[in-house]
Structure 1
Amino acid sequence: MSNPSDHLLNFVAVGGVSGWTLPYWCHMFALMLTGAAREWFEKLSDGQIKSWDDLVAKFSQHFSQQKKHTRDPSEILDVVRRDNESIEDFISRFNDESLNIRGISEDMLRGAFRKNVRSNALICCLTGKD
């Protein structure tokens, strides 16, 4: 399981569309678990889960370390061209990183790229300035 929040959101969406009753939700949730989540659920003692909200809380708490880390947009400023890294490789890495960080403005992207590409010739070419 890559992200417990994604699993819960998808599950709630399916359950809501299907019009499941609450007992059916709990039953279907258990059936859809695999791997470590299935093992965790099977190790719960009888009566340990009192409600759907309790199941969600315990599931989320147990798997919270797998929750996706939300990256701050300012982290794009840390993507610096490495020594001996080609411009092409830097551009690929910069693009990959920028796609994995939400909320970066176009201005911040352009500024971080200009600052961190460390190639005056490329910057002059891109900006049209000598």
Structure 2
Amino acid sequence: MPQVESYDRSKDPLDHLESFKTLMHLQRVPDAIMCRAFPTTLKGPIRIWFSRLTPNSIGTFKELSAQFASYFIGGHKYKKSTACLMNIKHREDETLRSYITRFNKEALSINEADDKILVVAFTNGLRKGKFLFSLYKNDPKTMLEVPFSS
């Protein structure tokens, strides 16, 4: 049976909540049991936060989720915008393969990135050279059209 990692503030609290809820809903766990099981996924000072909640002050898991999210929202990892891709530059000491890998890793962290913007950002970050000129010549409209084997 899959398990939810303990929450220790090093990861996104909303992601932790969603992982927990998904696992509980898959097993058709009742709301009251979810409330009792949730603290088992908390670690260290986070568990202390839970123990300091006023007894019987929470009636549903939805209320517990709201309390948890509002208290730990500072740890929420916000999705990046496509604008941050414009800052990725192909470094002088970097291979093309390394730049492509680094760019793709950042592009995956963008929620619903537009393919045309990805091409522009990717091209914008390239150093001058044969590959860049081949892109200008071929004018790809999507990342699938970018000839990475060049």
Q: Same fold by TM-score, threshold 0.5 exceeded?
A: yes
> Does the Cα contact within 8 Å between 1:80 and 1:117 map onto a contact in 2?
yes
- Tell me which residue corresponds to 2:84: 75
Partner of 2:126: 117
Residue in 2 that maps onto 1:65: 74
Structure with larger RCO (C-alpha < 8 A, sep 6+): 1
Residues 88, 103 of structure 2: 8 Å contact kept: yes
Q: Give the Cα–Cα distance (whole angstroms) in 2 for the partners of residues 39 and 33 of structure 1.
A: 9
Instruction: State which of 7, 22, 31 in structure 2 corresponds to 1:22.
Output: 31
Q: In structure 1, what is the equivalent of residue 94 of structure 2?
A: 86
Conservation of the 8 A alpha-carbon contact between 1:87 and 1:117: no
Q: Distance in 1 between matches of 2:102 and 2:28?
A: 45
Work out the CA distance in 1 between the residues paired with 2:124 and 2:45.
44
The structural deviation recorded for 1:126 is 4.1
Measure, in 2, the Cα distance between the counterparts of 1:103 and 1:23. 36
- 1:63 is paired with a residue whose SS is helix
How many correspondences in the alignment?
128
Q: Name the CA distance, whole Å, in 2 between partners of 1:21 and 1:73.
A: 40
In structure 1, the gaps of 5 or more residues are none
Long gaps (5+) in structure 2 = 1-6, 139-150
Percent pairwise identity: 25
Deviates more, 1:59-68 or 1:85-94: 85-94
Aligned counterparts of 1:36 and 1:26: Cα–Cα separation in 2: 18
User: Which residue among 99, 102, 108 is the counterpart of 2:117?
Assistant: 108
Shift of 1:26: 0.9
The Cα of 1:127 is off from its aligned counterpart by 4.9
In the alignment, the residues of structure 2 paired with residue 13 and residue 93 of structure 1 have an alpha-carbon distance, to the nearest angstrom, of 31
User: 1:105 corresponds to which letter in structure 2?
Assistant: D
Maintained 8 Å contact 2:80/2:111: yes
Q: RMSD between aligned alpha carbons? A: 2.3
Kindly indicate which of the two structures has a greater share of residues assigned to helix.
Answer: 1
CA deviation profile, 1:59-117 (whole Å, cap 9, x unmatched):
001110111211112321221234x3434343332222222223223322221122221
Letter in 2 for 1:103: E
